Each structure stands twice: as structure tokens, then as C-alpha cells.
């Protein structure tokens, strides 16, 4: 979770290989929101989505979830293993630990738990954003920004 | 005609499988079946819908439910679609006579393709639950199928 305390909470189910998720992410930065990100990698559409989600959770174990998350969305064309290592290195993470963690059962279970939670919440595609009673599915547009803007 | 409702027997129908067999009402008997009607192979939304169901397919299997994708595409298009998605969900084709099975289930869109609908049948071939999305652009989440399974297994 990140964003100013007391700001409007939103939960985003996303996938690091999904272009609409990156579009949403880019704009969420500009709004005063408290954002929770949950993984919803759809492997058959996005073959590297799951590996990327595991890498982000491995970075989280070294306190670098959000920087890693931002680095993934900033360059979706580069999600192969060497690109993930390069990001970890650039963020000053312990590389062998990062690599062991991203392949660990604990990290896989964490991502899986997010996915299952998404299924239970009715998520059927990415991105899906929840903010109170509001639910937005798919590519974000002006109506979403209007709805999320502070009153 | 709206989608067949719970309590009604599944209609008579005949769909083509990739293996060249026919899949009929008989094939529904003796187990729980979920027919996933989707508008078109390769349209971006269907891609996500079946991909998401694929992710939780083991859970459906564990609950004793078998899923099939149904569209009016040819078996060849369906097979190519399946390979592209990397899904194992079997596909059934309503290509000829086109839309006949979809019509029987009450899910044929006026424009000649299936509505986005789900029909669950029981071992006796009776409809246990059905759902039609408000429009073909809305994706029914896998949670709807799990909820329906919860409701029928009570």
C-alpha cells in the first residue's frame, strides 16, 4: 500500500505485462490516493506476467516492492530474467537472495493468494480497480479520472 | 428467447468437437458441465475470459465440474484459438447449422454469434444455473461459477 494516509483507498488488480495496467498506473500517480496493488497475472495472455509478479514480491522481501513495481511498469518490453536481475541490481538488492526468493514457494503462494482473492471479488480481466462502491474494469478513461478526483 | 433457466431440462443440441465427433445432450449426463458461450474466437475479451478460467481450472475439476467453450467459429479456428491461449478447455463448435445449439439454449445474439453466457447442467441433464452477461462486452468472473457450484452442492 502506498499514498498519503487518509487519502481515498483504491485496490488495483493488475498484471505487469498488461498495457492497460501500465496506463492506469501512470495516472494513479498523479492522484492523491492510497493504492493497494494485487497481482492478477494471466499466464496464457501474458507469459512473463507471473515471473514479473514473483520478482516484485521477491523485491518486497528486501523492502523494495514499489520501486520494483514502478520499474516493471516503466518498461514492459523487458521482462525476461536478465531484465529482472538488472532491475534488482539497479535498486541495490542482494541479487542471489532476490533470485532465490522469486523462485520460492512462499512468493508463489503470495501471488496465488492475490489471484484467488481477485477471482472471489469477481475480477475477470485486468486492470480492475475497486474504490469503495466503485468498480472499474479495463482501460482507464476520462470517466474514471473524474470519479477518482477528490471532490 | 432468454437463456435457459435453472430447473429446465437442457435442450436437444448437437455441437462439433475438434476430434470430429458430435457433442450432444447425452454428453452432459452423469456429471456437472459448464458451457461457456463466448462471441468469437480471438476477440480480445474472450481471450481474457478463457485465460482466467484456465488459471482456476484445477479448482473446477476438483469441484467435479467440466468446462467447455462454445462459439459459432469453426473447429479449426477454435483449435487455433485454444493453442494461442495455451488453454486446455475443450471447445465445441456451433458452426453448422450455424447457431442452432446457441438458439436452443437461448443465447444466440441477433447478429449471429453467442451471447456471453454460462449454462451449468447437472448429472441428469437439467439446468442447475445459468447466467447471461448484460452485454457481450461484460466478462462473467469465475466467481459466478464457484458461487453456483456452492449453491448446488448444499
Question: Do A44 and B86 touch, CB atoms closer than 8 A?
Answer: yes
- B132: exposed, middle or buried (Cβ count in 10 Å: 0-12, 13-18, 19+): buried
A42 touches chain B (CB under 8 A): yes
Q: Taking the domains of chain A in order of start, what are their residue ranges?
A: 8-148
Note the pLDDT tens digit of each residue in B18-28: 999 999 999 99
Chain A CA closest to residue B84: A44
pLDDT at residue B11 tops 80? yes
Q: pLDDT (tens digit, 9 = 90+) per residue, A38-75?
A: 999 988 788 899 999 999 999 999 999 999 999 999 99
Cβ(A56)–Cβ(A79) below 8 Å: no
What residues make up the domain containing B61? 14-152
Chain A, 90-149: which have a CB under 8 Å from a chain B CB?
A: 115-116, 119-126, 137
What own/partner pairs with CB < 8 Å and gap ≥ 24 does B27-32 have?
A: B28/B121, B28/B125, B29/B123, B29/B124, B29/B125, B30/B123, B31/B64, B31/B65, B31/B66, B31/B123, B32/B63, B32/B64, B32/B65, B32/B66, B32/B120, B32/B121, B32/B122, B32/B123, B32/B128, B32/B149, B32/B152
The per-residue pLDDT for range B92-131, each reduced to its tens digit, is 999 999 999 999 999 999 999 999 999 999 999 999 999 9
Pick among B38, B54, B55 to test the A interface (most A CBs inside 10 A): B55
**Cα–Cα distance between B148 and B154 in angstroms, integer?**
10
In CATH, what number is assigned to the domain containing residue B95?
3.40.30.10
* Domain presence at residue B98: yes
Indicate the average pLDDT of chain B: 93
pLDDT at B1: 65
In CATH, the number for domain A8-148 is 3.40.30.10
Count: domains in chain B: 1
Output the pTM of the full model: 0.85
Amino acid at each position: 500500500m502506498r499514498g498519503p494516509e487518509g487519502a481515498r483507498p483504491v485496490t488495483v488488480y493488475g498484471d505487469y505485462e498488461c498495457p492497460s495496467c501500465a496506463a492506469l498506473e501512470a495516472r494513479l500517480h498523479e492522484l492523491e490516493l492510497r493504492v493497494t496493488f494485487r497481482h492478477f497475472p494471466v499466464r496464457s495472455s501474458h507469459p512473463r506476467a507471473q515471473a514479473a509478479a514473483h520478482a516484485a514480491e521477491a523485491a518486497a522481501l528486501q523492502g523494495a516492492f514499489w520501486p520494483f513495481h514502478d520499474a516493471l511498469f516503466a518498461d514492459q518490453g523487458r521482462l525476461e530474467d536478465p531484465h529482472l536481475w538488472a532491475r534488482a541490481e539497479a535498486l541495490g538488492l542482494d541479487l542471489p537472495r532476490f533470485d532465490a526468493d522469486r523462485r520460492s514457494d512462499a512468493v508463489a503462494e503470495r501471488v496465488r493468494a492475490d489471484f484467488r482473492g481477485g477471482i472471489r471479488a469477481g475480477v475477470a480481466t485486468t486492470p480492475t480497480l475497486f474504490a469503495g462502491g466503485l468498480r472499474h474494469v479495463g482501460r482507464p478513461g476520462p470517466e474514471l479520472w473524474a470519479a477518482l478526483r477528490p471532490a | 428467447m432468454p437463456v435457459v433457466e435453472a430447473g429446465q431440462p437442457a435442450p436437444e443440441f448437437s455441437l462439433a468437437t475438434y476430434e470430429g465427433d458430435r457433442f450432444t445432450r447425452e454428453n452432459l449426463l452423469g456429471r456437472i458441465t459448464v458451457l461457456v458461450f463466448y462471441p468469437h474466437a480471438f476477440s480480445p475479451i474472450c481471450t481474457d475470459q478463457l485465460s482466467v478460467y484456465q488459471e482456476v481450472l484445477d479448482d473446477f475439476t476438483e469441484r467435479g465440474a467440466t468446462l467447455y467453450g462454445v462459439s459459432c467459429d469453426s473447429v479449426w479456428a477454435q483449435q487455433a484459438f485454444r493453442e494461442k491461449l495455451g488453454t486446455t478447455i475443450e471447445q465445441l463448435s456451433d458452426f453448422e447449422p450455424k447457431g442452432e445449439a446457441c438458439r436452443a439454449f437461448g443465447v444466440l445474439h441477433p447478429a449471429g454469434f453467442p451471447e456471453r453466457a454460462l449454462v451449468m447442467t447437472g448429472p441428469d441433464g437439467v439446468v442447475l444455473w445459468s447466467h447471461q452477461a448484460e452485454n457481450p462486452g461484460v466478462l462473467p468472473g469465475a466467481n459466478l461459477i464457484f458461487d453456483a457450484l456452492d449453491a448446488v452442492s448444499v
